Amino acid sequence: MSEIKRCKKCGTPLMVSKENTWNGNGVIAQTRDFEHRMIFYESDNIGALFTGIEHILGLPIEKIVVESKRREVKEYVEKMMSAITRKAVKHIGIGMMIDTLSRNGRAFGYGDISMVERRRKNDSDDFITMSVRNPHSILFFCGEVLGAWEAIDGRDHFVSYEEVEPGFYRVTCRVGEHPLELQGRLNFKTYPYKPGDIECERCGTCEVPLSVAKYTWDLEAGTIVHPDTRRRMAIFGPRGMEAILDDLEAELGETIPETVIEAQRLTVRMAMKDMKWIGDDQRYRRMMAFRGLGNIVMMKLGDKSLSVRMENACIDLMSVGMVQALFELMSGTDTSEYDYKISPDGVLDITIS
């Protein structure tokens, strides 16, 4: 695998700083495609959120998560690569594709990714096996590998994984029908951006916010870790997570939004319970913005309530659960109630009491 270059001043992988732009409106956008949004988010919270949803529902959701991610990734690859290009990659460029996947994975916090074995005889016994150590989310990884490989190979596959040792997995895609077929076609969400005035200190060389650059980027392990809290982060698109939550609601019913909010509330409370929280609206504004979750334009904290307005919001259900958890940590209460609404132009209003 070719070397991943870092900024000589702050140490952030140049792949990250060149391909993503942290804007003053709480949005992280791909530099070459500003309509494609990204977030810088706690990866440990992804698995914890799915586990929490399963616990509340009393139902497994693994197949829905993997299938939803597969569908999103497959459609994205088909959108970005022509049929001729995909055919060329299948026959002569698979090694280059795996190298790109591994480089991106290491730089964006997805783990240490490599190919183990593959068989290509153009029959039903064909397969490809990938390995990943320290995955940001094993379910995300399964869906990503499955979707990308289906787009390249042109046939339906199913995926399985095994944990060879703690934190080290082998993921295999084989020719065959999906164990679950979601109904309807995925609609890629668009985000109408509003301007913002959030300022932050940036690296003088690569222009990444210093609040991002201070993380420890281990390019061998494929992890991004805060040096003090040890919380792990990853950079990924919110569209995939939102598609998963939409598919969960379509498959399991209208109680999913409140289930997601509650699971997120519990996850954030557990992750941040040892931190000191005070009513500093600028601190929370910067915290949400550098994650790419949106721009807090109003935050009003009372004795028994918290009101927040956030422009350019994404993964809004998770943001509601996060704000609810922060209010409880600030106020020292164990329970609270919420009310929220999201407008078509991405303005999220949240009231916690």
CA angle 155, 158, 163 (to 5 degrees): 140
Distances (CA, A) of 297 to 154, 281, 300, 320, 349: 46, 9, 10, 15, 10
Within 13 A of 126's CA, how many CA atoms are on the CB side? 15
DSSP secondary structure code for residue 151 in this structure:
H
DSSP string over 181-210: --SS--------PPP------B-TTT--BH
Instruction: With beta carbons less than 8 A apart as the criterion, state whether 42 and 311 touch.
Output: no
Q: What is the pLDDT of residue 321?
A: 95
How far is Cα 150 from Cα 69, in angstroms, rounded to an integer?
12
For residue 294, is it left (φ>0), alpha (ψ between -120 and 50) or beta? Answer: left
Query: How many CB atoms are closer than 10 A to CB 9?
Result: 12
Q: Is 332 helix (H, G, I), strand (E, B) or coil?
A: coil
Give CA–CA dist 308/320, Å, rounded.
Answer: 10
176: which residues sit within 8 A by CB, 6+ positions away?
124, 156, 157, 158
Domains identified in the chain and CATH numbers: 253-352 (3.30.1380.20)
DSSP letter for each residue of 58-104: TS--HHHHHHHHHHHHHHHHHHHS-HHHHHHHHHH-HHHHHHHHHHH
* CA dist 9 → 6, 118, 159, 202 (Å): 9, 40, 41, 11
The reported pLDDT for the residue numbered 260 is 95
pTM of the model: 0.90
**pLDDT of the residue at 281:** 73
- Could you state, in chain order, the average pLDDT of each consecutive group of 10 residues for the chain (353 residues)? 87 95 94 88 91 93 92 84 82 78 91 91 91 95 92 92 96 88 63 88 94 95 93 92 90 92 92 68 86 94 90 95 91 91 93 95
Burial bucket for residue 66 (CB in 10 Å: 0-12, 13-18, 19+): buried
CA distances 253 to 8, 246, 249, Å, are 50, 10, 5
Question: Residues 34, 105: contact at Cβ < 8 Å?
Answer: no
Instruction: Output the pLDDT for position 330.
Output: 85
